[in-house]
A and B are shown apart, each in its own frame.
Chain A
């Protein structure tokens, strides 16, 4: 190590590729990309093409995509998914950071009860209460509505978002709240003007994490959204793959279009996704 070098240069220096690390990298990357590659190449082949699925088409055939885009079902699916994801995220963030503020700042017996409650309901498996949830939604006429799905999804997601917000707020110095109180701010004003503006990083993490899980959610949407006009992206893809005369090429195009927004978002905001995974690990 010579003096005067920036730390980043030192790091660059020690970056070396050995032949085995190169080969191993290529093998690993291929094994993780292969399914998506196969899906992509299938989506550009016509339905009578029975050449190897590992091969690329030797012609340009965008018809699978054109059919889906023309039918418009993909746009309806995007719209439904965005409404549900947006609603779920909104509820989880607003209700979540409010509850987390109280949880992080109070230290009473009642608070301990709430904390244990939140940690316990976090592990309720969605399917173990399927019959209970489904009959409740039927009773309140929530089948095939956006609001019922948003309510149930956000209720099941709230424990995690409360947990993440609490971990963040605990690290904001309490002295800030106290100073605001001395200046005459009410509890709500303190929350609104002092705490809320500082929550941006954790909110970004929650939004990204919950956005992905809402986009990919299959469980409750499949039972609650029974009308085709209400289908989310995942249900639309399912419809393609579970058709009796399944057109695997059209289905591939549907899957690509459905997953494209998520993949683009991931490739551009990688760091946040990975941070989100770390923050959500319950310690």
Chain B
């Protein structure tokens, strides 16, 4: 069997080469650049030590982007899972047309986040926007929805949650359909009904779906980029940037390649820590009946 193992290892070569060259090498390169002061294009650059990282701690805009990232990540995750579960329970109930409802809830997932952001512009635009039109019907003054950082953040979080709630719904739906009827029948014999059935059977048995859904939503939310570019471009006054959009802003608009790299490394470490903790936490909690 030894010979066979050696031959099989050749099968790794193409994939490994590609990942090493286009993922690991850039990561190392980004790490190296994070210790350098460089504008991104000139041949001149100077060693800057850990000063880029010290600058990060002092950078007000970095902290705004960092807390925004937390909001986009955890806010969307909360909304997507609560509504995803509600939608899944609703669609799972057998009534006419449940498949059509499922189909439409999942539809926005298919559309590019960037394009969805642009589509939502028809709603939040100041002149002729649908939200302002509705306000007008009630005799209220129009609102410049994205002119305020706090409101911008909220709208981005809601938009992202709305667009991708279908992913959570599908995962919960698969989880629900995997629960054997046997448990419910047994519980009914024991006199459990409605809420108790949900609390003691459905919810614990959905744990694997919860963990997949939370991890997927959270990682997606923490990387949020496209919809912000389309809706606010990080503005007004850099108030709605996530770490992702802040990095590209620093690199391409402010020409701070070294500093952008350092922020990138911080973002990578942050997401790595979050996903490791989540994986550990969820794995220890799953139940089996």
Chain A residues in contact with chain B, CB under 8 A?
11, 14-18, 21-22, 24-25, 28-29, 32-33, 35-36, 38-39, 42, 50, 52-54, 91, 94-96, 98-99, 101-103, 105-106, 108, 110, 114, 118, 120-121, 123-136, 151-152, 154-156, 158-159, 162, 181, 186-188, 191, 212, 215-219, 223, 234, 237-238, 241, 248, 251-252, 255, 258-259, 262-263, 266-267, 270, 273-274, 277-278, 281-283
Q: Is the CB of A218 within 8 A of B96?
A: no
How far is it, in angstroms, between the C-alpha of A219 and the C-alpha of B87 when the chains are bound? 31
Q: Is the CB of B212 within 8 A of A281?
A: yes
Q: Is the CB of B133 within 8 A of A39?
A: no
Query: For chain B, what secondary structure do more than half of its interface residues adopt (helix, strand, loop), or is it mixed?
Result: helix
- How far is the CB of A174 from the nearest CB of chain B, in Å? 12
Q: List 12 A-B contacts (CB under 8 A).
A: A17-B95, A39-B119, A128-B267, A131-B264, A132-B29, A135-B29, A135-B257, A136-B22, A216-B115, A217-B112, A237-B112, A263-B110
Q: Is the CB of B12 within 8 A of A99?
A: yes
Q: Is the CB of A255 within 8 A of B118?
A: yes
Residues of B near A283 (CB, < 8 A) are: 208, 211-212
Pick the contact of A130: B171, B219, B260 (CB < 8 A).
B260
- How far is the CB of B87 from the nearest CB of chain A, in Å? 7
Binds A, one of B13-21, B138-146, B184-192, B198-206: B13-21
Question: Closest 9 A-B residue pairs measured CB to CB?
Answer: A132-B26, A132-B30, A155-B22, A216-B112, A132-B29, A99-B15, A281-B212, A128-B264, A102-B11
Residues of A near B247 (CB, < 8 A) are: 127-128, 130-131
- How far is the CB of B22 from the nearest CB of chain A, in Å? 4
How far is it, in angstroms, between the C-alpha of A277 and the C-alpha of B268 when the chains are bound? 24
- Given the known inter-chain contacts A38-B119, A218-B113, A241-B230, please indicate yes or no for A129 contacting B212, CB distance below 8 A: no
Residues of B near A191 (CB, < 8 A) are: 11
In the complex, residue of chain B having the shortest beta-carbon distance to the beta carbon of A103: B12
Of the listed residues B15, B90, B123, B219, the one surrounded by the most CB atoms of chain A closer than 10 A to its CB is B15
Q: B238-269 CB contact bits vs A (8 Å, 1 = yes)?
A: 00000110011001100001001100110110
Q: Is the CB of B230 within 8 A of A39?
A: no
How far is it, in angstroms, between the C-alpha of A123 and the C-alpha of B273 when the chains are bound? 11
- How far is the CB of B286 from the nearest CB of chain A, in Å? 9
- How far is the CB of B175 from the nearest CB of chain A, in Å? 10
B128 within 8 A of A: yes
How many B residues have CB within 8 A of the partner chain?
92
Q: Is the CB of A270 within 8 A of B119?
A: no
B156 within 8 A of A: no
Q: B1-40 CB contact bits vs A (8 Å, 1 = yes)?
A: 0001101110110111011011111111111010000001
B215 within 8 A of A: yes
Residues of B near A103 (CB, < 8 A) are: 12
Q: Is the CB of A24 within 8 A of B90?
A: yes
Q: Is the CB of A35 within 8 A of B123?
A: yes
How far is it, in angstroms, between the C-alpha of A11 and the C-alpha of B96 when the chains are bound? 11
- How far is the CB of B19 from the nearest CB of chain A, in Å? 5
Residues of A near B128 (CB, < 8 A) are: 50, 53
How far is it, in angstroms, between the C-alpha of A24 and the C-alpha of B97 when the chains are bound? 11
B106 within 8 A of A: yes
- How far is the CB of B150 from the nearest CB of chain A, in Å? 23
- How far is the CB of A81 from the nearest CB of chain B, in Å? 11
Pick the contact of B225: A33, A219, A266 (CB < 8 A).
A219
Q: Is the CB of A127 within 8 A of B11?
A: no
Pick the contact of A266: B100, B110, B114 (CB < 8 A).
B110
- How far is the CB of A275 from the nearest CB of chain B, in Å? 9
Of the listed residues B94, B128, B208, the one surrounded by the most CB atoms of chain A closer than 10 A to its CB is B94
